Structure 1
Amino acid sequence: MKAKALLFDMNGTMIDDMAYHAKAWYNILNDDLRAGLTYDEVKKEMYGKNDEVLVRIFGPSKFSLAEMTALSIEKEKRYQQEYLPFLKLIDGLKELLVVAKSQGVKLAIGSAAIPFNIDFVLDNLHIREYFPVIVSADDVAISKPHPETFTKAAELLGVAPEDCIVFEDAPKGVEAAQNAGMQSIVLTTMHEKEEFAQYSNVRGFIKDYTDPHLISLL
């Protein structure tokens, strides 16, 4: 491996769960909050911090911070309840983590998820030992596509941005990596290759971590 650090987005990148997030958001936004959005409109808006999603859809003055926090937790509870029976790492990822750690490649998570959700994944899948650095929604002022999520992870690992490779599944995440001066490998779990055409930092696309081209991309 040529990279000194691998940075992973979580949802849709480590676990293939974005459809469950979309369903939870769809129910919260339409059934609870009467936003009147289509499923595709919900998918388009569900990036970044949960409170940023609510502000984008309803404006900055609709909810108090306490109300947004409560809605965020309720959304994640619904997501976790639906997804728990199917929770697993994307194929090949565990093997990649083992090899990377054995070769001294540093690992971190850089996610717009709240700690409540990150803990759900790491503790149920017993993979916390691989990630000495975790940057969550609570650790940054502005989430992706702002680069802070990834630049902070690199800083905490002690690795220069140009020595990091970011695994992402979403255009806004790839944009964040590009803004941070980092190369990306894209998981095609939720978005098509064509949606990333505007970014110059994409080294390649993989369906999962068993892809035979993965090592050459690293």
Structure 2
Amino acid sequence: MINGFDAHLFDLDGVITPTVILHRRAWRETFDELFTQLGLAPYREEEYFSYLDGLPRFAGVATLCAARGIELPDGASGDVGLSSIAGVGNLKNQRFAELLERDGIEAYPGSLQLMHQLTVAHKPMAIVSSSRNADAVLRAAGILARFDAIVDGERAAQEGLPGKPAPDTFVRGAELLGLAPANIVVYEDAESGVAAARAGGFGLVVGVDRGAGRAALERAGAHHVVADLGELVG
């Protein structure tokens, strides 16, 4: 299924590394604090998949706050705290960085197997992630050198690229590899990421179901859904 394509673009969190676990913990701690301060019902885990998964950090905060009827100013980019969208997002990122430093991270075994197969086949690979922590996560997992290009939240901000579900970051990844989207496979675990890849005209979009649900990924446009990338090895 994937052998006829020339290159491969991977989302990071939930596809290559289980950093989604650390992200979910950091989001839960941050929004529990915010919701408690405002006298709202506790944060629900399903809110991660509905409002946060796959979105740039500040966009996720704004989306969930809107869903909860919370009005916060955008704030300054350096804010840290509960009084602005930027502050909440940066507080979450601070907590994520602390968890990553304390606990470390390892890539999913199935993802390592697929990456090894693609390396042996001389297939270019790139990371396309909304995270501004992609470099740190890849270094912590010891796999930074495996990728030919990285389009992360930092690069997107520098180049003015809109985040997922817009296709721009995936299209930029294809440009960096020097290949047309139609010749590339995208691997995504978030509905917004799957929608972005389909909007970008990529030849094959593989949904990785780490909790979003097969049906949701298929509705977003995934051509094929797996529970783990190890299913594609062979």
Partner of 1:189: 210
Q: 1:215 offset after TM fit, Å?
A: 4.9
1:178 to 198, 204, 209: 198
Q: 1:70 offset after TM fit, Å?
A: 5.3
Give the distance between the partners of 2:141 and 2:23, measured in 1 at CA: 18
Paired amino acid for 2:136: F
Give the distance between the partners of 1:187 and 1:85, measured in 2 at CA: 24
Matches within 5 A, 1:190-205: 190-200=211-221, 202-205=222-225
Paired amino acid for 1:38: Y
Give the distance between the partners of 1:161 and 1:208, measured in 2 at CA: 23
Alignment: residue pair count: 211
Paired amino acid for 1:92: G
What TM-score, normalized to structure 1? 0.86
User: CA 1:45–1:154 in 2, change beyond 3 Å: closer, same or farther?
Assistant: same
Q: Determine helix, strand or coil for the equivalent of 1:165.
A: strand
Q: 1:165 offset after TM fit, Å?
A: 0.5
Deviates more, 1:81-90 or 1:152-161: 81-90
**Any conservation in 2 of the 1:170–1:190 contact (CA below 8 Å)?**
no
1:41 to 34, 38, 47: 47
User: CA 1:157–1:189 in 2, change beyond 3 Å: closer, same or farther?
Assistant: same
User: CA 1:163–1:74 in 2, change beyond 3 Å: closer, same or farther?
Assistant: same
Give the distance between the partners of 1:38 and 1:165, measured in 2 at CA: 35
Partner of 1:208: 228
Matches within 5 A, 1:2-81: 2-32=4-34, 34=37, 36=40, 38-39=43-44, 40-46=46-52, 47-56=54-63, 57=65, 58=70, 61-67=73-79, 71-81=88-98
Q: 1:32 offset after TM fit, Å?
A: 4.2
Q: Which runs of 5+ in 1 are unaligned?
A: none
**Any conservation in 2 of the 1:144–1:173 contact (CA below 8 Å)?**
yes
Q: 1:154 offset after TM fit, Å?
A: 0.1
Paired amino acid for 1:148: D
Percent identity over paired residues? 22
Partner of 2:174: 154
Q: 1:142 offset after TM fit, Å?
A: 1.2
Give the distance between the partners of 1:161 and 1:124, measured in 2 at CA: 29
